Amino acid sequence: MQQPVKVVLITDGDRCAQHAVESIASELGLRCISASGGNPTPISGEEIVHLLKSVPYDPVLVMFDDRGKPGKAQGETAMEYVANHPDVQVLGAVAVASNTTGIQGVKVDACVCGDGKLVTSSVDKNGRIGSHKNKDEMVINGDTVDVLNDVEIPFIIGVGDIGKMKEADSIDKGAPVTRKAIEEVLKRSGVHYGRRT
């Protein structure tokens, strides 16, 4: 019987985020479902699971994006399906902040701020610390994060806008903030990863 595919959920998928996530996957020896990139998520949860079952090895990075819409739009619907699927083992999630209003937000275990430090404070889309209205709460507000409250996620690490954050997470620099967040999820999950030959 095939083992569940180990997955890290990432709540951003626009072009900039996709390039950053693909680059990080290559650098860390992970897999990435490139077809999940898009603004909004262009394929269904069922299609993502089908693609996950075809990867030669894991962990796998999967992107989800609601294109700024509050409520459960395409990205969150797909993420809910993937996270609840018996053939998928969710290691954790990278929750991405945005300026979307009318959302619940999600509590996170830690955040990586714009200068690359792991912090126990919330961050905004620019990676700034403690700008959340409840500064003592580690809450990420983003258009594709609310559904994380309804599924089983062992670890959630918050970040600002992937590949951006006022150039702090630039792809030219290796998207260091996002990379650290992904590495932190993998570290906390205890899963071994690295380049395959």
pLDDT for 186 equals: 97
CB distance 182 to 61 below 8 Å: yes
CB distance 24 to 61 below 8 Å: yes
Tokens of 52: 């996950």
CB distance 193 to 32 below 8 Å: no
The residue written with tokens 């996957």 in the block is 25
pLDDT for 197 equals: 44
| C-alpha torsion 101→20→6→38, nearest 10 | 60
Reported pTM: 0.93
CB distance 37 to 18 below 8 Å: yes
* Residues 24-80 pLDDT 10s: 999 999 999 999 999 999 999 999 999 999 999 999 999 999 987 766 889 999 999
CB distance 108 to 95 below 8 Å: yes
Percent of residues, the chain, with pLDDT higher than 90: 78
pLDDT band for 124, please (50, 70, 90 cuts): very high
The residues, ordered by sequence, that sit 6+ positions from 150 with a Cβ below 8 Å of its Cβ are: 80
pLDDT for 135 equals: 53
Give the closest residue to 62 by CA, choosing from 71, 85, 70, 106: 85
Give the closest residue to 79 by CA, choosing from 38, 36, 31: 36
Q: Which of 30-44, 90-104, 128-142 has the highest mean pLDDT?
A: 30-44
pLDDT for 100 equals: 78
CB atoms within 10 A of CB 82: 26
pLDDT band for 179, please (50, 70, 90 cuts): very high
pLDDT band for 192, please (50, 70, 90 cuts): confident
DSSP bridge pairs for 90: 7
